[in-house]
Amino acid sequence: MLRVSCPTDVLELGTSFYAAKVLLAAVELGVFEALADGPLPARRLHTECGLHPRTARDFLDVLVSLGLLERSDILQPQPVYALTPVAEAGLVRGRPEYVGDFLTLADRRSYPLWGHLTDTLRTGEPGPGLDDRDLFDAVYADPKQASIYPAAMSSLSAPAIVALAEVFPWADQRTVCDVGASRGALLVHLTRRFPQLEGLGFDLPDVAPMFAEYVEQAGVGERVRFVPGDFFADQLPSADVLVMGHILHDWNLETKRMLLDKAHKALRPDGTLVIYETLIDDERRSNTFGLLMSLHMALRTRGGFDYTAADARSWLLDAGFRDVRVQHLVGAHSALIATA
C-alpha cells in the first residue's frame, strides 16, 4: 500500500478511493470476465461491458495505469485491451487466487459502511444496520447478503489458502477441520492437492447448503464433510489439524480466548492449530491492510479486532499451546502455527 513520501502522495492517498472505485466498477461491469478468453478491441469491449464512449477510454486506461490491463499502442485507431498476468490470476472467476467476489462485497457493503468511519471513531459503535442480533445471524437472515457472503469469504482467503497449502506438511496429516469453514474453499483446495487428506467443515447450520453445493461441484464430496455447529454452544470437532481462518478477528478478546481453549481441548496432544489472518506486524507500523482490517471489524462488529502475532502467541500459550511459530503466507496474510 502507498506510504507517503511527499505532499502529492498525500493528495493521491486522500483520493485513493477514486482508484478503488474504478477497480470495483470494473468488477461489477464484467471487464475482467469479458477479457478472460483473450484480448478484445476497444469498441467490442465497450459493448460487452455496456460502457458509454464519454468515459470508456479514461476508465479502461486507468486500469492500464494500475497494472490491471494491457493496451496496444495508443496510436492504433482501434486499441486492443488484454488482462495483465495479475488480473488473469486474481480477477478471472474459477482461478485458484480469484478475489473478485470479495471486491463485490467490498463495493456493495464495505464502501457505504466506511462512510461512517468518523462516527465509529468517536463512539466506538459499529456502523448502522447492525442490530443486536449476532452478526452472522444477520448475514444469513438477509437473502442479499447470504447470497454473496460465502463466495466473498472464499475469495478473500483464496491467495492465502493457495500459499498455506505449500508451507505446511499437509502430506503427513490424515484429517483437517476448518472451523468457520464457510463454503469450504480451504478444504476443497487442500483435499484436491493432498489425496490422503479428509476434511471436516464446521460452521453454522445455515451454511450447510452452500457448503454442499461448492464441495460437490469441486468433486471432493467423498472426502469432505460438513459438521453443523455453533462454536459458542458446541465443542469443536477433533482432527489432526484445526484451522481458523479470519475467525478470531470477528470477536472480542474473551471470545478469542474461549475459541483457543476449545481448539486446545479438541486437539489430541501434538495436534496442530493453524490460524490465518491479515496479522498486524508486531511493531504495528507496516501491515496497513491488517490495521485497516481491524478498523473494518470495528465498523462491522461490536468487539472484533485484528491483532499481532505477539498478541496471539501470548493467548495461545495461555490456552496451553506450545511451539508457536509465524509463517508469512502472501501479501498482508500470515499464519500462526501452534502445537497442542
Ligand X SMILES: C[S@@+](CC[C@H](N)C(=O)[O-])C[C@H]1O[C@@H](n2cnc3c(N)ncnc32)[C@H](O)[C@@H]1O
The answer to whether residue 156 forms part of the interface with ligand X (CB under 6 A) is: yes
Segment interacting with ligand X (CB under 6 A) among 72-80, 225-233, 267-275, 307-315: 225-233
The phi, psi pair for 283, rounded to 5°, reads -80, -10
Q: Of residues 26, 207, 319, 324, which one binds ligand X by CB under 6 A?
A: 207
Cβ neighbour number for residue 269 with a 10 Å cutoff: 7
Segment interacting with ligand X (CB under 6 A) among 103-111, 246-254, 296-304, 311-319: 246-254
Q: Of residues 79, 90, 159, 180, which one binds ligand X by CB under 6 A?
A: 180
The answer to whether residue 334 forms part of the interface with ligand X (CB under 6 A) is: no
Out of 246, 249, 264, 333, which one is annotated catalytic?
249
d(CA 42, CA 321): 57
d(CA 210, CA 201): 12
The phi, psi pair for 176, rounded to 5°, reads -135, 135
The answer to whether residue 246 forms part of the interface with ligand X (CB under 6 A) is: yes
Nearest CA to 315 out of 248, 257, 232, 242 is that of 257
d(CA 325, CA 309): 9
Burial class (CB within 10 angstroms; exposed 0-12, middle 13-18, buried 19+) of 323: exposed
The answer to whether residue 232 forms part of the interface with ligand X (CB under 6 A) is: yes
Cα pseudo-dihedral 90, 91, 95, 98, rounded to 10: 60
Is residue 280 a contact partner of residue 290, using CB atoms and an 8 Å limit?
yes
Q: Of residues 51, 81, 157, 336, which one binds ligand X by CB under 6 A?
A: 157
Question: What 3-state DSSP class applies to 332?
Answer: coil
Cβ neighbour number for residue 316 with a 10 Å cutoff: 25
Asked about 249 being catalytic, the answer comes back as yes
Is residue 93 a contact partner of residue 33, using CB atoms and an 8 Å limit?
yes
Segment interacting with ligand X (CB under 6 A) among 79-87, 119-127, 200-208, 291-299: 200-208
For residue 170, the minimal CB distance to ligand X (Å) is 17
| Residue 278 DSSP symbol | -
C-beta closer to ligand X: residue 57 or 95: 95
- 247 to 276, contacts with ligand X by CB under 6 A? 247, 250
x-or-dash string of contact with ligand X, 54-73, rule CB under 6 A: --------------------
Q: Of residues 9, 172, 230, 270, which one binds ligand X by CB under 6 A?
A: 230
Q: Of residues 81, 194, 214, 231, which one binds ligand X by CB under 6 A?
A: 231
Active-site residue set = 249
Residues in touch with ligand X (CB under 6 A): 136, 153, 156-157, 180, 182, 203-204, 207, 229-232, 245-247, 250
